[in-house]
Structure 1
Amino acid sequence: MRKIIDTQAAPKAIGPYSQGIITSGLIFTSGQLPLSPQTGFLVKNSLEKQTVQCLENMRAILLHADADMSDVVKTTVYITDMMSFSVVNEIYNDFFIKHGANYFPARTCIEVSKLPLNAMIEIEAVAVAP
C-alpha cells in the first residue's frame, strides 16, 4: 500500500511527482528545491539560505507523515559547486542536531551541472515511517 504525502507546509510539486510517498514502512521525499512554500518562488540570496530552505521543506514533508529528522536514514544532496560542500555540510550538521537527530543518516553528495530553476542545491531523503 502506498500513501501520497501532500502538505501545504512544503512547496507544491513543480512537475508530475509527489512531495513524498509512504510505502513498506519507509518515507521517500522528492528532491526538495529551495522554494518558499508561501510564495512558490526560489530563495535566491545565498547557498546558506537555499540549504536551510531545502532542509525545512524536507522536514515539513516528514512532519506531515508523523516523522522527524531522527527518522531519516539516507539523504542525497545535489549541489552545483562541490567547492561549496563545507558550507552545506555545516548547515546540514546543525540542522539535524537542532531537530533532535541523535545520529546522522547515510548520505551521498553529488555535484551536478544544473538544477531546476537554477537552484544551487536540492536534497532528498528516505526515512523510517513511524
Structure 2
Amino acid sequence: MPREVLCTPDAPSSPLYSQGVRAGGHLHVSGLVGIDPSTGELAGAGIQDQTRQALRNCRAVLGAGGATLDDVVEVGVLLTRSEDFAGLNEEYARWFPPPGPARYVARLGVDLPGVLVSIRMTAVTA
C-alpha cells in the first residue's frame, strides 16, 4: 500500500517529520503543538489557547488529506503539566462533543519552552 505524505502551509512543519501521512483509508496526523503557522509563535500562554491552536493545526492536516474531524477515530494528547487536564478537556469538548473518538492523555516527555500540549490524530476515510 503506497503512502502519501501530507503537507499544508496551514499547520507548523519541520524537516524532521511529515505533518501527516495517508496510507489507504488511514490518515495519521503527527503530534502538533499550539503554534500559529501565520506567526510561528505559540497561540498563547494558556492551555486552552494552545489546545485550540493545536486542534486547528490537526484539522488543517486532516483537510490536506481529504478528511475532517468527523473522520477521527483516535486522538493522542501529551500534556506538559498534569494540572492543565481540566482546561484541556474544556476546549477539547468544544471540538469533539460526545461521543468522541478514542483518546489517551499522557505527560509530554521532552522540555519544549512554553509548549503545554501536543496533539496527534488518526482518521479513517472510505
State TM-score, norm by structure 2: 0.90
| SS in structure 2 at match of 1:59 | helix
The answer as to 2:3 corresponding to 1:2 is yes
State the aligned residue count: 125
Greater CA deviation, 57-66 or 112-121? 112-121
Equivalent in the alignment of 1:122: 118
Deviations 1:81-119 (A, max 9, x none): 12221110111011124xxxx731100000235443430
- How many angstroms apart in 2 are the aligned matches of 1:112 and 1:32? 12
Q: AA paired with 2:121?
A: A
Equivalent in the alignment of 1:58: 58
- Which runs of structure 2 are paired with 1:17-96 in the superposition (5 Å)? 17-96=17-96
- Aligned-residue offset at 1:11: 1.4
| Structure (1 or 2) with the greater strand fraction | 2
- Aligned-residue offset at 1:16: 1.0
- How many angstroms apart in 2 are the aligned matches of 1:51 and 1:12? 17
Unpaired segments ≥5 residues, structure 1: none
Give every structure 1 segment of 4 or more consecutive aligned residues whose post-TM-superposition deviation is greater than 6 Å.
none
In 2 relative to 1, CA 6–117 (structure 1 residues): closer, same or farther, beyond 3 Å? farther
How high is the sequence identity, in percent, across the aligned residues?
Answer: 32
